[in-house]
Amino acid sequence: QMVLLAGPGVLISTFCLATLVKLTFPYDWDWKTSLLLGGLLSATDPVAVVALLKELGASKKISTVIEGESLMNDGTAIVVFRLFLKMVLGHSFGWGSIIIFLVRVALGAVGIGMAFGIVSVLWLRFILNDTVIEITLTIAVSYFAYYTAQEWAEASGVLTVMTLGMFYAALARTAFKGDSQRSLHHFWEMVAYIANTLIFILSGVAIAEGILDSDRIAYQ
């Protein structure tokens, strides 16, 4: 369900939004620019929805599907956005070039994330019941995996880190010994909460600055 929503679902949403933008916005945008905005808007954020579901006592399965789909569709939307951004900037793509780009950005990111996951799990075998070092290792590996994918391999850093996290959750739980697994879960929950809070604060600041600047220009 999550894969269907985050894959074909995001693509359908992108094309529907692009069509709406093309037909209704009075800016005379071409299809490339409309698809660029459609890809940007197709990613969803589940923070408010998940909080509401918890208040209503909805099943954990529904919350998990919504959260997982949101996590995965961010990666899909970024890949789509990067593709149409290159087109808007003047890069010409044939179907073969598009396929190669998608394979490199998406599948390359998955491969890099799994490779870093395997290496870090092997490394964890040499760490004996040291929660701080194990948590520090996950932070360092996440940053290094993102940098490797984004800067060196020209793949999606977001998809790489997402794959790394899913690898840890699905296949590497036994690698964290003792109370490390619980501590790791609480630590990354706190990091996710802080990151979400900062994103909304910075978004509000950016929107407010844009509105104030436009008001100043109109006044002048």
pLDDT digits (tens, 9 = 90+) for 162-217: 889 888 888 777 777 767 788 888 998 899 889 888 988 998 898 888 777 765 54
The answer to whether residue 190 sits within a structural domain is: no
Q: Are 64 and 55 in contact (CB under 8 A)?
A: no
Domain count, the chain: 1
The answer to whether residue 196 sits within a structural domain is: no
The answer to whether residue 109 sits within a structural domain is: no
Say how far apart CA 174 and CA 176 lie, in whole Å.
Answer: 5
* Token output for 133: 């070092």
pLDDT digits (tens, 9 = 90+) for 131-177: 888 889 999 999 999 999 988 888 888 889 988 988 888 877 777 77
The answer to whether residue 45 sits within a structural domain is: yes
Parent domain of 87: 1-92
One-letter identity of residue 32: K
The answer to whether residue 40 sits within a structural domain is: yes
The answer to whether residue 197 sits within a structural domain is: no
pLDDT digits (tens, 9 = 90+) for 40-55: 888 777 666 766 777 7
The answer to whether residue 119 sits within a structural domain is: no
* Token output for 16: 């529907």
Contacts of 63 by beta carbon, 8 Å cutoff, 6+ apart: 50, 53, 54
Long-range contacts of 54-60 (CB under 8 A, 24+ apart): none
Contacts of 3 by beta carbon, 8 Å cutoff, 6+ apart: 72
The answer to whether residue 44 sits within a structural domain is: yes
Which of 81, 3, 97, 69 shows the shortest CA–CA distance to 35?
81
